Amino acid sequence: MNNPTVRIKARIGNTFRSLRQYNFRIWVAGSLISNIGTWMQRIAQDWLVLAELTHHSGTSVGVVMALQFGPPILLMPLAGLVVDRVDRRRLLIVTQAAMALSALGLGLLVISGHVSLWQVYGFATWVGCISAFDSPARQTFVSELVGDSDLPNAVALNSSSFNGAQLIGPAVAGVLITAVGAGWVFIINGLSFIAVIASLIRMRVDQFHHAPEATAAKGGVLSGLHYIQKRPDLIIALVMLFLVGTYGLNFSIFVSTMAVTTFHGGAHVYGMLSSMMAIGSVLGALHSAGRSPPRLSVLTLSAFGFGAVGTIAAVMPNVLSFGILLVALGAMAQLFTTSTNSLVQLSTTPSMRGRVMAIYIGIFLGCTPFGAPLMGWIADAFGPRWSLAMGAASGFIAALVGAVYCARKSLRPD
């Protein structure tokens, strides 16, 4: 193993080991196509609200994010219980089809010229309700495809697929918005769901790694919260996720307002900056894929890195320097979120995983209603640079929470 070539091949093989399994391989392929469409729609939706339905209103973009990511909090207990009790593959077929219809419906409204801001709000709320069930199902479904031994690797590669799509989707969306309008971007996204639905149908069910069935204990809807209450390590991880997710991961606001207001760019500039952030996200996910199962110390360091890079990015003088910092910011954000996801799943009993991951998703997505409108208002009132700097501060606070816990744990006698 002293041969550098052998070591590199071994590292590459370890990084992509989950792809040796057929079900996970076709899942990643189908998801990649669908995720490209999803990122295209994100750019088109932000642009539609920011530049066509309002006059550069960061607050309105924040409201859309709040409506889209708010329902996971309200539906969190029910969604977790459903995910633990039903066939996740069939559930995903239903949720992905519903999202496809939503994208097609909004696209037709835009193309026909009948779209208004309140309709975008309505579609965002509908997608949020679907995501409340879809997101925890997708997260826990990965463990059925590969098993617990390869779960951290599969979670990281799954994130690589999502963020790899961000390399393509925003850039393509920027070109299409300029060439044919935002409406056709929504239509393309709706059609892209065919790929992931087809992958779900083609899977070999007999190769699934099924977890033990969840017990039908009394009060099962709240059992996920009761489980977490007894686990201080999970509480700390979720508190850190709450801080960074609520205030720091509002990239739709940060990047769009910096592109349009600070640097006076068009849709193509916004798409380019989003793609540069995606480069960092992919690098962060691939780094996570080659690592051993994460610890809270990794979350602490990556949260601090997120805060430091975000603060520097907020003062960059031009588009190029800002884009370069976005690469590093994307890597730090991805390392933090991927590590949190893996830690929470691996630290949870399989029969409780759906309910705990519903809480994870509720925090990861559902806390946006609290942070996004505030970050949007700060961007409107004080400028996008201040909004990004405030978001970066959440990384420092989360790192402090993690560091205090790790220090106290190290001082405790065994």
Residue 385: closest CA among 324, 327, 311:
311
Q: What is the reported pLDDT for 342?
A: 81
Q: What is the reported pLDDT for 5?
A: 59
Residue 211 in any domain: the answer is: no
The two tokens of residue 344 are: 């929470």
Q: What is the reported pLDDT for 108?
A: 96
Please state, for a pLDDT cut of 70, what percent of the chain lies above it.
90
Q: Measured over all CA atoms, what is the biggest interatomic distance in the chain, rounded to whole angstroms?
A: 68
Neighbouring residues of 42: CB distance < 8 A, sequence distance ≥ 6: 169, 170, 173, 252
**Cα 72 vs. chain centroid, distance in angstroms?**
13
Residue 8 in any domain: the answer is: no
Neighbouring residues of 411: CB distance < 8 A, sequence distance ≥ 6: none
Residue 162 in any domain: the answer is: yes
Residue 394 in any domain: the answer is: yes
The two tokens of residue 234 are: 């999970």
For 316, the 3-state DSSP assignment is coil
pLDDT beneath 50: ranges in the chain: 1, 214-219, 414
Residue 212 in any domain: the answer is: no
- What's the total number of domains in the chain? 1
Question: DSSP assignment, residue 215?
Answer: P
Q: What is the reported pLDDT for 29?
A: 92
The two tokens of residue 91 are: 């559930």
Residue 100 in any domain: the answer is: yes
Rg (CA), the chain: 20
Q: What angle do CA 401, 67, 171 make, to 5 degrees?
A: 85
Taking the C-alpha atoms of residue 253 and residue 60, their distance in angstroms, rounded to an integer, is 10
Please give the residue range of the domain that contains residue 70.
16-205+220-411
Question: What CATH number does residue 369 fall under?
Answer: 1.20.1250.20
Residue 307 in any domain: the answer is: yes
Residue 367 in any domain: the answer is: yes
pTM score, whole prediction: 0.71
The two tokens of residue 337 are: 């979120």
Burial 384-411 (b: 16+ CB within 10 A, else e): bbebbbbbbbbbbbbbbbbbebbeeeee
Question: DSSP assignment, residue 293?
Answer: S
Residue 126: closest CA among 190, 70, 192:
70
Q: Give per-residue pLDDT as tens, 220-242.
A: 556 777 888 888 889 999 999 99
Please report how many Cα atoms fall inside a 13 Å half-sphere around the Cα of residue 15, on the Cβ side. Answer: 16
